[in-house]
Amino acid sequence: PRNCLMNKHAPDHEHGPGCQELLGDLSAYLDGELSPALCAEIEQHMAECENCRVVVDTMRKTVDLYRTMPQPGLPEGLREKLFKSFTLDTPD
């Protein structure tokens, strides 16, 4: 299942445990949440594995695009409704 994305780029490429580990840590890697040592391992793997490099670059571009998009505002009156719904009545 996870390999399906990479198999489209190079169907004859063998995916080892390094590829699976990279995919498992991809989100944390892109968010800068991994240790420098683990980042170095991932970057070394990508230097040797074009398929993983393509996956990481594509995901990075997708995340960057999402972050640059304007965030939609709340519909009129929703903020007040939310605050009212969280207000609890105190017992007498």
Any idea what the CATH number is for the domain that residue 36 is in?
Answer: 1.10.10
Q: Give the chain's domain count.
A: 1
Give the residue, 22 or 60, on which the prediction is more confident.
60
Burial class (CB in 10 A: 0-12, 13-18, 19+), 22: buried
CA angle 42, 48, 49 (to 5 degrees): 80
Distances (CA, A) of 6 to 22, 76, 88: 12, 44, 51
Residue 72's domain spans which residues? Answer: 3-86
Q: Is residue 92 part of a domain?
A: no
Residue 36 is predicted with a pLDDT of 94
pTM exceeding the 0.85 threshold for the entire prediction: no
82, part of any domain: yes
pLDDT classification of 82: cutoffs 50, 70, 90:
confident
Domain annotation covers residue 91: no
